[in-house]
């Protein structure tokens, strides 16, 4: 089709008197540029000019509005992060307070015998043996508590042991034998710990030098009555051993009470 049009055009041109036409000459470079330009290049130039025009024709008010919107979004993110951090900090503080309250509920100060032979008062934590409700807040009620009582001999109590467990309980209290026991202790209390005495050989350095065998010495210590590490008869013997305390001190009893 292109060649047919070209032939017709040449025939039509040949029919004119070219001598009457003014001489028109095209520069080769101009002709080459006109016929060698890539259409894709022209489209790309048009797009570039359109983009340039859009960039430099933006309304300043629109830019300010966009900046304000971005600022609001950034502030919202910062507020959200601050609130999350505050909630986490409050939860951590509550957890620390709850743990402290839980530990205080089941801890008592007891005289602990050290390797040096001296007694030192220390706070001792007893894991509760009675079932406990789910503890969420400080104001929540506990299922039991740990108590310490110092009672002189004779105690006037009767101990018992559950047939299905190793727990030792206070079954009866004779107020005629020891009124203090009846005012402090209650039937059903779990006996968790008690003081006990034991005779040991004390060997000072000067006796070792001269070949001595030492001297007997009675020491007091705290004996676990949980039933897991001690038998019922051993607990009774531990309570009776307080009679050998040279200082005649009161018997220390630790009970767990509902």
User: Which two tokens mark 50?
Assistant: 């359109």
* Selection from 2-6, 60-64, 136-140 with the highest mean pLDDT: 60-64
Residue 258 has pLDDT above 60, yes or no: yes
Comparing 33 with 184, the larger pLDDT belongs to 184
Six-digit token pair at 36? 């060698």
Q: For residue 18, is pLDDT > 60?
A: no
Confidence grade of residue 94 (pLDDT, cut at 50, 70, 90): confident
Backbone φ, ψ for residue 154 (5° rounding): -75, 150
What's the whole-number mean pLDDT along residues 150-169?
Answer: 90
Give me the mean pLDDT over the 225-235 stretch: 81
Q: Kindly give the residue spans of alpha helices, DSSP state H, lying in the chain.
A: 2-14, 28-36, 39-55, 60-105, 179-184, 205-209, 232-240
Supply the pLDDT for residue 179: 95
Mean pLDDT, rounded, of the chain: 79
Confidence (pLDDT) at 211: 56
d(CA 240, CA 175): 19
What's the whole-model pTM score?
0.63
The residue ranges of every structural domain in the chain are: 27-105, 106-257
Find the mean pLDDT for residues 11-22: 48
Q: Could you tell me the pLDDT band of residue 207, with boundaries at 50, 70 and 90?
A: low
Q: Which residue has the higher pLDDT, 109 or 24?
A: 109
Residue range 48-70, pLDDT digits in tens: 655 555 555 667 778 888 888 88
Q: Fold for domain 106-257?
A: Pdz3 Domain (2.30.42)
Phi and psi torsions of 50, nearest 5°? -65, -40
């Amino acid at each position: 089709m292109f060649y047919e049009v070209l032939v017709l055009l040449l025939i039509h041109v040949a029919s004119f008197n070219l001598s009457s036409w003014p001489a028109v000459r095209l520069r080769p470079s101009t002709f080459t540029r006109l016929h060698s330009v890539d259409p894709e290049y022209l489209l790309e130039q048009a797009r570039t000019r359109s983009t340039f025009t859009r960039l430099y024709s933006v309304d300043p008010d629109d830019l300010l509005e966009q900046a304000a919107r971005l600022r609001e979004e950034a502030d919202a993110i910062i507020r959200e992060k601050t609130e999350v951090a505050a909630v986490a900090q409050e939860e951590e503080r509550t957890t620390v307070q709850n743990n402290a309250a839980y530990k205080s509920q089941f801890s008592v100060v007891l005289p602990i015998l050290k390797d040096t032979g001296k007694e030192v008062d220390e706070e001792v934590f007893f894991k509760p043996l009675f079932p406990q409700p789910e503890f969420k807040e400080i104001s929540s009620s506990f299922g039991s508590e740990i108590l310490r009582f110092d009672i002189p001999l004779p105690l006037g109590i009767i101990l018992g042991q559950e047939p299905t467990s190793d727990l030792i309980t206070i079954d009866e209290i004779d107020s005629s034998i020891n009124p203090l026991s009846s005012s402090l202790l209650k039937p059903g209390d779990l006996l968790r710990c008690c003081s006990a005495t034991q005779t040991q050989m004390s060997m000072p350095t000067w006796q070792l030098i001269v070949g001595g065998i030492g001297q007997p010495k009675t020491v007091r210590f705290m004996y676990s009555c949980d039933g897991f590490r001690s038998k019922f008869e051993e607990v009774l013997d531990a309570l009776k051993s307080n009679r050998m305390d040279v200082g005649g001190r009161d018997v220390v009893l630790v009970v767990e009470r509902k």
